Structure 1
Amino acid sequence: MINNRLIALLPDLASFILIVNEGSFTAAAKLLDVTPSALSKLITRLEKALSVKLFERTTRSLIITPAGQKVYDQALLMVNAAQQAIELSTSDHTEASGSITVAAPEAFLNSVLQPLVLPFLAQYPEIELRLRVADGQFDLLRDRIDIAFKLTDKPDENLVLKEIAQTHLRLCASPNYIQQQGMPNHPTDLVNHQCLYLAETERDHIWDFFKDDEFHSVSVHGRYAVNHSQMRLSGVKNGLGIGIFHDFVIADALKSGDVVEVLSGWTLKSNYHGAIAMQYSQTKYMPARVRAFIDFAIEHLQKKLAH
């Protein structure tokens, strides 16, 4: 129900979102062309109107409170809905123009999406494309992301899902390494080998193997660990050990013979396996620029990743 109180709060809520996104009153004030003290008074007024504390303020930091986070999440939905309403009355809705932000894990962005950038921008000269590496958890609305690619068997149920393909993990080593150290015949043999893993989380050095009804969880070790797929691949090619890769990362190296597959009869699982999922927010009125990228990606990626 729209009333005078709600109308009065709308500008303050929009300013509150900007302050959270920018991380400080000073940064937000520059964008709004007002003083930081004016924004501080605005937040005090908003806190009084909502009867909640939005920020914990110190001389060095501005930390959103749990209650403030809830207000932010709801206010963000409001702002995004307003943006959609604006686009309905502009060419943004019918013409492929403006900016879009696409997030993807580093390995997928580098190996799969990067080659599509120039063809996409050439086909849609009025679109500004922003690619963002996002390997961890993120929120599309909060992080202002239009489309996200995820490598997962548990896609976000609150978002639209377009499954592009399936991805699998491969263990690979250089022929020279295998010649010197021998080919592992069983997952437990890996404890006697140098292994390159991601080193992102405490469990990245534990590799889970499945084969029929058999399961083995192996704690591997190695002198070199890196969460960058191309650096890890370079290390493997140069004989530093056995590395873990997505199939789309390692395909060319396998084809050229620079690396050989290890334990090919086993299924290896981690946090990044399953579907290559393209996800985006459900909306009845999707901007043409977002639809253009979705259609382009589906057409080109399904061909590229077909096995």
Structure 2
Amino acid sequence: MPNTKLVSLLPDLASFILVVNEGSFTAAAKKLDVTPSALSKLITRLENALSVKLLERTTRKLNITQAGQRVYDQANIMLNAAQQAIEVSKQDHTEPSGTISIAAPEAFLHSVLQPLITPFLRLYPEISLKVRAVDGDIHVLKEDIDIAFKLTDKPDENLVLKEIGKTDLVLCASPDYLKLRGTPSRPIDLVEHDCLYLGETSNDNTWDFLKDDEFHTVVVSGCFAVNQSQMRLQGVKEGLGIGIFHDFVVTESLKDKTVVRVLPDWTIKSNYHGGVAMQYAQTKYMPARLRVFIDYMHQQLTNQFTTLTTQG
């Protein structure tokens, strides 16, 4: 039999999640059709019941405490389980239907997922996809994402992990550029070259290279920085300099020799390389639409990355 105190706290925990997601009492209160002051009192009641401070309130901003973040994470699991219980009651196991929200890095979306999306939607016409490009950390629970694709060696331990394969970073330039400027033989040679980098942060023009026990850090520069992979690749093809790409981005360009690898014996170190992972929240009752999407993508991508690894 469930604890009566726990049962009484469930609505308050759900309201707390909404406050955090909306970022303010006013926005959350509007969705719940209550006043902000009433919602604030509810959160205070929850804090008293749990004997912990969940939110730091100021006149301009609402911040979640460390303890509040832990409560939020666990409460989100609870809310997800409740949502799945509702899904089970509505779910048609014979005809997967409904909306799936997915997120992935922009380059992965363009080069890897895009060719698979149309065939999947034609195979399951009752399913709709909401696709979001996210470069950086993807917060599945907080951002209401069903499936996240990640390029990392450190997947989220709180989520189910489906391993797809491995991806490496490769350094590329056009043959014409190398003919004009020469081919680097060591990482340090890059300081004499034009290089294309992301331009997102103050240090993403700092590139790290590893070969056996030898490690080099090089600060590069160039006339073109862009955080969109296809624009950066086009710049490299047009001779603007040397750029770093995930291997799946430049597979076809390497085949048709519009670009060639530079420093192929060196490993490029970055936060966004290594394992290719598909992650989603743990649930006992998974909607049919998610199951068929996961199975389809896992099969297609595992085959694709196995081929990519063999070719590499």
Would you call these one fold, judging by a TM-score over 0.5? Answer: yes
**CA spacing shift, 1:212–1:42, aligned 2, 3 Å:** closer
In structure 2, the residue matched to 1:101 is 101
User: How many Å separate the matches in 2 of 1:252 and 1:182?
Assistant: 23
User: How many Å separate the matches in 2 of 1:8 and 1:272?
Assistant: 43
Write the mapping of 1:264-303 to structure 2, written as runs, cut at 5 A.
264-303=264-303
Cα shift readout 1:237-281 (whole Å, capped 9, x = no counterpart): 222210000111111222233222212232222212212122223
In structure 2, the residue matched to 1:164 is 164
8 Å contact kept, 2:160–2:279: yes
Shift of 1:287: 1.7
In structure 2, the residue matched to 1:197 is 197
- The range that moved more, 213-222 or 226-235, is 213-222
8 Å contact kept, 1:87–1:287: yes
8 Å contact kept, 1:23–1:62: yes
Shift of 1:50: 2.6
8 Å contact kept, 2:211–2:266: yes
User: How many Å separate the matches in 1 of 2:271 and 2:235?
Assistant: 22
SS at match of 1:89: helix
Number of residue pairs matched by the alignment: 307
Shift of 1:88: 2.7
SS at match of 2:239: coil
In structure 2, the residue matched to 1:81 is 81
**CA spacing shift, 1:265–1:65, aligned 2, 3 Å:** closer
Identity of aligned residues (%): 69
Write the mapping of 1:137-152 to structure 2, written as runs, cut at 5 A.
137-152=137-152
- The range that moved more, 20-29 or 133-142, is 133-142
Shift of 1:17: 0.8
8 Å contact kept, 1:94–1:287: no
**CA spacing shift, 1:75–1:198, aligned 2, 3 Å:** same
In structure 1, the residue matched to 2:136 is 136
SS at match of 2:226: coil
- The range that moved more, 105-114 or 136-145, is 136-145
Shift of 1:107: 0.9
In structure 1, the residue matched to 2:255 is 255
**CA spacing shift, 1:222–1:78, aligned 2, 3 Å:** same
SS at match of 2:236: helix
8 Å contact kept, 2:47–2:53: yes
Q: Read off the aligned partner of 1:79 and give its amino acid letter.
A: L
Shift of 1:178: 1.4
User: How many Å separate the matches in 2 of 1:226 and 1:40?
Assistant: 44
Shift of 1:92: 5.6
8 Å contact kept, 2:163–2:278: yes
- The range that moved more, 153-162 or 96-105, is 153-162
8 Å contact kept, 2:23–2:62: yes
Structure 1, unaligned stretches of length 5 or more? none
Cα shift readout 1:185-207 (whole Å, capped 9, x = no counterpart): 22221111111122344543232
**CA spacing shift, 1:61–1:214, aligned 2, 3 Å:** closer
8 Å contact kept, 2:91–2:287: no
User: How many Å separate the matches in 2 of 1:74 and 1:92?
Assistant: 29
**CA spacing shift, 1:31–1:158, aligned 2, 3 Å:** closer
**CA spacing shift, 1:282–1:51, aligned 2, 3 Å:** closer
User: How many Å separate the matches in 1 of 2:92 and 2:32?
Assistant: 24
In structure 2, the residue matched to 1:123 is 123
The alignment status of 1:7 with 2:7, answered yes or no, reads: yes
Shift of 1:102: 1.5
User: How many Å separate the matches in 2 of 1:179 and 1:104?
Assistant: 36
SS at match of 1:140: coil
Structure 2, unaligned stretches of length 5 or more? none
User: How many Å separate the matches in 1 of 2:12 and 2:294?
Assistant: 34
Q: Read off the aligned partner of 1:118 and give its amino acid letter.
A: T
Cα shift readout 1:46-101 (whole Å, capped 9, x = no counterpart): 23333333222233322222232222122112111212222233316664222222
In structure 2, the residue matched to 1:55 is 55
